[in-house]
Structure 1
Amino acid sequence: MMTVNWQAKWIWGEGEESPRNEWRCFRKTFDVPAAAEARSGAALRITADSRYVLYVNGTRLGRGPVRSWPFEQSYDTYEVSHLLKYGEENTIAVLVLHFGLSTFYYLRGRGGLLAELNDADGDVIVATDATWLTSRHLGQHPRAPRMSIQQAFSEYVDASAWDSSWKELDYNDAGWSNAIVLGSVGMAPWTTLKPRDIPMLTDETVYPVRVESLAKVRSFHVTTALDVRNALNDGSEEHANGILCTGFVVTSIRANCACSATLGFLQAGGCFRALSLNGEEISQDRIYGTTPERYVDVNLNEGDNLLVIDVSGSLHVGKLQFGIYGEESGELSFASPLEQLADHSASTFFRIGPFDAVITIDHQSARELNWEYPVYMKLLGALKRPEDLERFVDWLSPIDPKYVSEVDVFALSVWRKENVKFAVPAQLQNAIIPNNEAGLVPLFEGYDTEVLFDLGKEYSGYLSFEVEAEAGTVLDWYGFEYMSGEYRQDTFDLDHTLRYVCHEGRQVYETPIRRGFRYLALTVRGATRPVRIYGVTFIQSNYPMAEVGRFECSDTLLNDIWEISRHTTKLCMEDTFVDCPAYEQTFWVGDSRNEALVSNYLYGVQDILKRCLRLVPGSRHQSPLYVNQVPSGWSSVIPNWTFFWAIACAEYYEQTGDEAFAVEMYDHIRFTMEHYLLKIDESGLFNVKGWNLLDWSPIDQPNDGIVTHQNMFLVQTLRVAAQMGRIAKEEESAARFEEAAIRLAHRINECLWSEEKSAYIDCIHTDGRRSDSLSIQTQVVASLTGVVQGERKQIIDAYLVQPPEHFVQIGSPFMSFFYYEALAKLGEVRLILDDIRHHYGTMIRHGATTCWEQYPNFLENRANPDMLTRSHCHAWSSAPAYFLGREVLGVRSLRTGWTEVEIAPVPSGLTWARGSVPHPAGGRIDVSWTADESSKTIQLNVSYPEGMIARIRLPEGYTGSIMETKLGIL
């Protein structure tokens, strides 16, 4: 790695080291000598904690940095010669978004910015120091709700409180203060800086395809969202682990007059166990709706009404969202129940407790909650008046307002007391047509106006819009993935909202927060004159790659399925592979193994996978077994995900032939595998407490005990470790892993096979009880990993070809990937295609433009028949793009680095197919064929890069011709 002699200093502003959800702006104006114009090569290096948006002379240049461990902080380098004004003043402006807490893609550090501009000779032109000016972004509300436990914050911006020209050279920065120097490069927590190891992500402008609907709506009169998890558990910002706790939230509802009202609790989960109002416990039979929406009708007194909410339970998301609707209430608000006390008057919400709190790791807690804690048991009915709170003063404390959102835009967007639709005027469609006249949003007296945009398919990136409005007009934006007819699948565990308060006149706003969605609801509130929309755009942002892979065949359904698989994979390639662009945006280690194989057949890019694989061992400070998503504040281990990471390391070597990388990764594979072997118990089987997951289905896969599929994948991983050890010339450790694999496979066949049932059982529980259930998943893994041999293999393979009805069936497209791998080994390509048509065809019939996380109505979504899946865009589900290229086109690598490739299509009832597969060394392999099923003849055309050995063969039982073309290479 090149050593950089940084002159820049880490800087920040006054206040907290790690403030919650703070946007901080930095500026530096400087001269560039006129003599420098003759030479290009000026380079700006920059990084920040947590994220930045960079502007040079008012032009947005980039966003970053890529996700990284704080002890290996990544920095970006931009060539900026074309943006500089030589012999004149120039301005660098940076917006830094500091999260102030850990997420699933960020570990809490502290606020900081580091930047340095060098000329072509490497001399410093300008670098961050105490002369830079800084100000908190005064228009950004830091109390916006969390998006989710996986992500940071939603967005609330008041454009009337902040001049958007702060990025420009001629901006008046009076009132800004000088930055504070934190220290030099190498300071904690950023002890090491590493250059960005992938290209900058793309900016692709996308426009909505139509205005889907127009409606006048009414929602709650007052809303809020409380971060109960952080408010009740001090220090929980440092991690993203789950919490079990008992405790209460207390506030007063202030009403101008006595009235009836509806209290609505959205995304209740563990944050809504029970409640009382003015000392009356609300019985469960008065609460209607189903989780995540629960409602209760109450009578409010004039003045203050004491509301006590039991928020005890499992708090991972830990967000309490609720609203109040009162038809005749006049003004409603939340008020402090203790405002007569000066030190408590600033807080409208209080906590009582927690009486008992336990942090959970790996889905395991050290003990159960004490639900019989005396104070907890008697409190709900004991609080009738505010003065009763004094009896619990030892447990009572104000909730810091930073945990209490001023408004919950999500609740306002999804709950509508009234929703009256109108035909969409043709003139309003102008809002989505570039360079056209403005679309006019109509107003309805006494109502808000909702305009719903459809992007045509899901995208992942950054929302931008241009409007003309009066000052104070509120634009509430809410993105979601799926709707069908009148049904909207609202994202109750994800808040993709943006509240934008307009300044007077015409204005443009581009959000710095990444979101993924297809549908975008805009609700206009508080306007007295119509809002003009001059444009709504979306900036699709992903890893840059050419779409080399192609597939088309005689079955149009398979073509549609290939396309949604391709688009899904693209959206889930950010600065790492991610599971989904909406709900989590998280690099799940196990998911990425399958995503990488799909990407190999679509794009052929390797840098993104290499950085993914390198990130994983950084989690060894959390667990020597490596955690299941990185870099993350959730210390959670799924053993299979670690196994898939090691397997992906070997597959990367097979794909590229990068021996140096294989040697580098072997040190890390050896480290974690040695710790995994310590979990082999006295029975000779792998036995671990963890999240022992493979599929979203009712497999008997307890989080403590001997899980069969994990033992089998460990066998395969030990063999991979031996393979990688031999590449690294570590023969002794390689032999040790090989021997361990043999021993473990032997014990699996001795202990986990049921002669009575002629199948492998799912598990052995900690009490020694053998699983009663059988699953197709366990049999798939047995076949795929080669653990099963001989006569047993014939039995197992028959199950794969025709899964018995009494076996637990596959519940996710992720598990289907392994099933298809096993079927491919058996030569059952027709079965793969039939299964793809069945499951993915269901997605297509429901209008899918991306691949779903789950199959319909499975487990999590069974309660709601309209909810077909949780996430509608999930790259662990993109298997068809891999198998259609590998099996139908027949392109398969036979030797490391694809130096030798088999091209052997399998028609499987198709009459023709054509497509391309990227070659990892450059170029592509093109295949087209036409087959006649009745005469068993085929014409096959193939072209490929010169230097690659092609083993071309016709399908078994077919005769025909082969046309072969070798393409020259530069």
Structure 2
Amino acid sequence: MSNNTLFPSAEAQWIWVDNFDDAAASGQFVLFRKTFELDKNNDVLPSTSTTPIPLHVTADTRYRLFLNGKSVSFGPCKSYLQHWIYETVDIRPYLRPGRNVLAAMVLRYSSTHPGCLSMVRSSVPGFLLATNIGDLVIHTDTSWKAKKNTSVQIAADSEWDPRFGPQFLGINERVDGRLTLTGWQSVDYNDTDWPAAVKSSPTRSNSPMLDPRRLFPREIPALTEDFGRFDGVLPVPDESTVNAWTKMLRGGNEDTCVEIPAHTTLAVVVECEKLMTAFVDLECAFTSSGDVVTPSIELLYSECFEATMEDGKPRTKADRTDHKNGVLYGSRDVYIPHGHGLNHYSPFWWRTFRYVRLTISTASDPLYITSFTFRSTYFPLNVTTTITTSSSFITRLWDVSLHTLRSCMHETYEDCPYYEQNQFIMDSRSQILFTYLVSRGEDRLARKTMQEFAASQRSDGLLETYFPNRGGSISIPTFSLYWVLMVHDHMVYMGDEHLVRRYLGRVDNILNYFDDRIDPEYGLVGAFDSDSWPYVDWVQGWFTPGLAIRGVAVPPAYYRYKKNGKSGGCATFHSLLYAYTLIKAAELCVFLGRHDTASEYLTRHSKIVSSVQKHCYDVSSAFFLDGLIHVVGPDSPKSQHVQIFAVLAGCVENTEAQTLMRRTILERAEHGLAKASFSLAFYLFRAASEAVW
């Protein structure tokens, strides 16, 4: 049995190419085609009607759909197996009398390879489509043509530079234009030698097993694809080269193309004034003289210029626009043009860049770059909030903040559009709050985010740290508390009783996880499970050797308290964040009239606060310590983090809270308080506001 009952067409079949080896590479591309005829007098054509003709489409893993050579849909929207998304698009504007063709390119990430961590895939690849054009019913079945696209390869893992850290994406391409099936999206293309598609499903006849992909319509709007031009080219020794590239980038006519002479290797860096998430579009041409050696173009996408990492030097970013002293590092696409007219290269997935370095090598023939542009892609955020200020700094800060938010809003919120493109709970909470602020009533991506994390809840009550993902990841327990705060934020800004009621059970499960780990001796949150990462913040000096990633970004006090020969936890931050979340969870319960549960949460909160005051406050310094005072002593490391949440959780109030926050901010260095990072600084402002209020 399939889950197509949730898809608008029960007849549509998941299809694929025959004899496909899913384990052959981390990612592979497959092409599909279906031609059909429309009579010129058909009343569904755009000239006779404007009524939408919906087409529903999805794929495992990603697709781009064309109708008569025009791109009409790109997806499916990121989600997870039990909530697999299909898109619906109006195809009427693209239809024409006579012969029409639907064509799709599908990127399949292997189910046996880690590949792109933010791209979920099932055990079986597939493409699924259905539409009714008047009386004509079109859906995917074995009448479609399917062919593997051998011209595009996903770059091998070995090509990744490990100095960047782990390889999260794996999206870069090696494209041989000589193997490209030119015009395969068009009506006139001859596909008679393409084999028929085959059914692709993990289900069996008369079996109660369902396809793991449970289909749902897309909840958020399609991403933008807006035309854009680069802002310039960085100086190279030859001024005429700069002038030629500048004219080409600005566009105009055919006389603006750039000629790269034969037997030449040229590196040119083009720039944007701000970071972009976009599909680049490169057009070039050359006339082949028949040589075996052909030109090649490498595109390196980089966030910034930085200090060299050669000879084992650590990564250092200072002036990120210093092209005179800095070096560009980044991920790379490689394109080999063909010698038969105009070439066009655009990556299947969008890239993130401030700078793009093109390294062009020619053979015995010159190569002509005729155009280099991009299509920026973001969630279509409608900004309704404006600010007016006499401070040029605040104005610039506002503009940068808005652009940063947009750059991390696509089909999910993202911690980083460049390296990971993963949706983390803590990051997403801050991004969602800013979304509420700048766009009145906009909560579509926020709702999707909350729903996805809710669906990731584990048997122990915690949520996945980042989600969607193609498998379990190391758990950061406190991130689940930020999800509770996320639900509370939505209550405050949107007042949706149904949403709060839907998630209150999951809130209770999360809070019970922390309650189950209260140390009976000290009344504080003790040690987490050994496969967890007790992450708090990226702080210089927060490193405990011998624990790999679990020893990084964790207050050392967490590992100093030993119980039964193992870490006993009891880091003050974990208890305070739990206590603060209990306050907000109680407010959720009051909102729904569940006062008994609210009272229970507040009782837990009071106990935690009392324990922190008793075991973690140093009278001599008048600061809260990062851990138990009898374990770490009065000279224990202290942090802004603990003082922030001591105020937010109500450990100190009124003038005491004001004094603590004033000293936390103004006397941080004097008292050796670890500094909160940019992301935790948000909570510093909240605590300062709470203290003043």
Q: TM-score if structure 2 supplies the norm length?
A: 0.83
Distance 1:25 1:752, change over 3 A: same
The corresponding residue for 1:460 is: 277
Residue among 150, 169, 180 paired with 2:168: 150
Q: Which has the larger radius of gyration?
A: 1
Q: Which letter maps to 1:42?
A: I
CA deviation after TM superposition for structure 1 residue 528, in Å: 2.8
The farther-off stretch of 58-67 and 543-552 is 543-552
Q: For 1:435-475, what per-residue CA distance to the aligned partner results, in whole angstroms no more than 9, with x for missing partners?
A: 33333244485x62101101221100211111113452101
The corresponding residue for 2:350 is: 514
CA deviation after TM superposition for structure 1 residue 646, in Å: 0.9
Q: Which letter maps to 2:195?
A: S
Residue among 14, 21, 38 paired with 1:16: 21
Q: For 1:534-564, what per-residue CA distance to the aligned partner results, in whole angstroms no more than 9, with x for missing partners?
A: 2111111111122322223112122111111
The CA distance in 1 between the partners of 2:283 and 2:459, in whole Å, is 45
Q: Which letter maps to 2:684?
A: Y
1:896-935 superposed matches below 5 A? none
Is 1:712–1:785's contact at 8 Å kept on the other side of the alignment? yes
Residue among 36, 42, 46 paired with 2:44: 36
The corresponding residue for 2:523 is: 684
Residue among 527, 531, 540 paired with 2:376: 540
Q: Which letter maps to 2:650?
A: G
Q: For 1:453-505, what per-residue CA distance to the aligned partner results, in whole angstroms no more than 9, with x for missing partners?
A: 012211002111111134521010001011213233544xxx52110000113
Q: For 1:274-310, what per-residue CA distance to the aligned partner results, in whole angstroms no more than 9, with x for missing partners?
A: xxxxxxxxxxxxxxxxxxxxxxxxxxxxxxxxxxxxx
Residue among 213, 230, 240 paired with 2:235: 213
Distance 1:551 1:737, change over 3 A: same
The corresponding residue for 1:64 is: 75
Q: For 1:347-402, what per-residue CA distance to the aligned partner results, in whole angstroms no more than 9, with x for missing partners?
A: xxxxxxxxxxxxxxxxxxxxxxxxxxxxxxxxxxxxxxxxxxxxxxxxxxxxxxxx
Q: For 1:557-603, what per-residue CA distance to the aligned partner results, in whole angstroms no more than 9, with x for missing partners?
A: 22111111111111111112111221111111101111112222222
SS in 2 for 1:649: helix
The corresponding residue for 1:803 is: 667
Indicate yes or no: 2:590 matched with 1:726. yes
The CA distance in 2 between the partners of 1:137 and 1:188, in whole Å, is 30
SS in 2 for 1:164: coil
Distance 1:769 1:76, change over 3 A: same
The corresponding residue for 2:311 is: none
Overall identity of the aligned pairs, in %: 21
The CA distance in 1 between the partners of 2:269 and 2:610, in whole Å, is 59
Residue among 567, 570, 588 paired with 2:403: 567
Is 2:75–2:87's contact at 8 Å kept on the other side of the alignment? yes
Is 1:49–1:110's contact at 8 Å kept on the other side of the alignment? no
Q: Which letter maps to 1:129?
A: D
The CA distance in 2 between the partners of 1:503 and 1:670, in whole Å, is 60
The corresponding residue for 1:231 is: none
Is 1:428–1:440's contact at 8 Å kept on the other side of the alignment? yes
SS in 2 for 1:76: strand
CA deviation after TM superposition for structure 1 residue 64, in Å: 0.9
The corresponding residue for 2:309 is: none
The corresponding residue for 1:736 is: 600
SS in 1 for 2:153: coil
Q: Which letter maps to 1:204?
A: D
Q: For 1:400-434, what per-residue CA distance to the aligned partner results, in whole angstroms no more than 9, with x for missing partners?
A: xxxxxxxxxxxxxxxxxxxxx76644223122012
The corresponding residue for 1:820 is: 685
Q: Which letter maps to 2:681?
A: S
Is 1:204–1:540's contact at 8 Å kept on the other side of the alignment? yes
CA deviation after TM superposition for structure 1 residue 18, in Å: 5.4
The CA distance in 1 between the partners of 2:691 and 2:622, in whole Å, is 20
The CA distance in 2 between the partners of 1:106 and 1:181, in whole Å, is 23
The corresponding residue for 1:192 is: 214
Distance 1:187 1:430, change over 3 A: farther
Q: Which letter maps to 1:449?
A: L
Q: Which letter maps to 1:468?
A: A
The corresponding residue for 2:150 is: 138
Q: For 1:317-367, what per-residue CA distance to the aligned partner results, in whole angstroms no more than 9, with x for missing partners?
A: xxxxxxxxxxxxxxxxxxxxxxxxxxxxxxxxxxxxxxxxxxxxxxxxxxx
The CA distance in 2 between the partners of 1:577 and 1:519, in whole Å, is 23
The corresponding residue for 2:106 is: 96
The corresponding residue for 1:357 is: none
CA deviation after TM superposition for structure 1 residue 695, in Å: 2.2
The CA distance in 1 between the partners of 2:375 and 2:247, in whole Å, is 19
The corresponding residue for 2:650 is: 786
The farther-off stretch of 726-735 and 24-33 is 726-735
Residue among 66, 69, 84 paired with 1:73: 84
Q: Which letter maps to 2:266?
A: T
Distance 1:557 1:666, change over 3 A: same
Q: Which letter maps to 2:243?
A: A
The CA distance in 2 between the partners of 1:778 and 1:150, in whole Å, is 32
CA deviation after TM superposition for structure 1 residue 746, in Å: 1.7
Q: For 1:611-632, what per-residue CA distance to the aligned partner results, in whole angstroms no more than 9, with x for missing partners?
A: 1111102222486311211112
1:606-621 superposed matches below 5 A? 606-621=443-458
The farther-off stretch of 99-108 and 642-651 is 99-108
CA deviation after TM superposition for structure 1 residue 827, in Å: 4.4
Indicate yes or no: 2:141 matched with 1:117. no
Could you list the structure 1 runs, at least 4 aligned residues long, displaced by more than 6 angstroms after superposition. 184-187
Is 1:780–1:818's contact at 8 Å kept on the other side of the alignment? yes
Is 1:718–1:737's contact at 8 Å kept on the other side of the alignment? yes
The CA distance in 2 between the partners of 1:187 and 1:17, in whole Å, is 22
Distance 1:461 1:634, change over 3 A: farther
CA deviation after TM superposition for structure 1 residue 78, in Å: 0.6
Distance 1:725 1:63, change over 3 A: same
Is 1:18–1:109's contact at 8 Å kept on the other side of the alignment? no
Is 1:24–1:96's contact at 8 Å kept on the other side of the alignment? yes
The corresponding residue for 2:513 is: 675
The corresponding residue for 2:244 is: 427
Distance 1:743 1:213, change over 3 A: same
In the alignment, structure 2 segments of 5+ residues that lack a partner are: 161-165, 289-293, 306-321, 543-554, 560-566
Is 1:576–1:608's contact at 8 Å kept on the other side of the alignment? yes
Equivalent residue pairs, number: 616
The corresponding residue for 2:313 is: none
The corresponding residue for 1:284 is: none
The CA distance in 2 between the partners of 1:736 and 1:114, in whole Å, is 50
Alignment root-mean-square deviation, CA: 2.7
SS in 2 for 1:546: coil
Distance 1:182 1:715, change over 3 A: same
The corresponding residue for 1:871 is: none
Is 2:33–2:102's contact at 8 Å kept on the other side of the alignment? yes
CA deviation after TM superposition for structure 1 residue 138, in Å: 1.5
Distance 1:826 1:31, change over 3 A: same
The CA distance in 1 between the partners of 2:617 and 2:368, in whole Å, is 69
The corresponding residue for 1:301 is: none
The corresponding residue for 1:305 is: none
Q: TM-score if structure 1 supplies the norm length?
A: 0.60
Q: Which letter maps to 1:816?
A: A
Is 2:202–2:211's contact at 8 Å kept on the other side of the alignment? no
Is 2:638–2:674's contact at 8 Å kept on the other side of the alignment? no
The corresponding residue for 1:409 is: none
Is 2:78–2:120's contact at 8 Å kept on the other side of the alignment? no
The CA distance in 2 between the partners of 1:32 and 1:107, in whole Å, is 37
The corresponding residue for 1:586 is: 422
SS in 2 for 1:456: strand
The corresponding residue for 2:300 is: 478
Q: For 1:822-851, what per-residue CA distance to the aligned partner results, in whole angstroms no more than 9, with x for missing partners?
A: 2233449xxxxxxxxxxxxxxxxxxxxxxx
The corresponding residue for 1:439 is: 257
1:212-231 superposed matches below 5 A? 212-214=234-236
CA deviation after TM superposition for structure 1 residue 52, in Å: 1.0
The CA distance in 1 between the partners of 2:262 and 2:336, in whole Å, is 19
Distance 1:811 1:486, change over 3 A: farther
Q: Which letter maps to 1:508?
A: H
Distance 1:738 1:811, change over 3 A: closer
